[in-house]
Amino acid sequence: MKHKLLIVDDSNVSRLMIKGRIAAVQPDWEVVEAASGDQAIAMIPTAAPDFITMDVNMPGISGFEAVEKIREINQTVKIVVLSANIQGSSRDRAQQLGVLFVQKPATQAAIQQAVDYFLAAP
């Protein structure tokens, strides 16, 4: 089954890095990108991703706010929050939203953790 991943990060470099690491382990996945939480929300109805990687600290709304709004549109998409902000409050917020928190940088190990979560049975 072919899956679609939406990468949400304001950093083009981060999006490229995540995309490359995903391609290394899941070359058949379709990857689409958004540079902000607002752009990601607007893409959900038409892009219909199976999975999302979400940065937290972006201009405009935060990744956590974007997750809340995405959940209003799509309750089943699996979301991983990728953030360098490792404070307990960020981890707690991710847990409250029912998403996996993975610490940046987006190393191959971090991306593998996200992929394993995406592919795990619901």
Domains of the chain by residue range: 4-119
Torsion angles phi and psi, residue 2, rounded to 5: -85, 130
CB 100 within 8 A of CB 89: no
Q: Would you place residue 21 in the very low, low, confident or very high pLDDT band (cuts 50, 70, 90)?
A: very high
Is the pTM higher than 0.85? The answer reads yes
Kindly report, residue by residue over 66-121, the tens digit of the pLDDT.
999 999 999 999 999 998 877 888 889 999 999 999 999 999 999 999 999 999 98
**How many other CB atoms sit within 10 Å of the CB of residue 36?**
18
In the CATH hierarchy, which fold is given to the domain comprising 4-119? Rossmann fold (3.40.50)
Task: Identify which of 66, 78, 77, 75 has the alpha carbon closest to the alpha carbon of residue 35.
Answer: 66
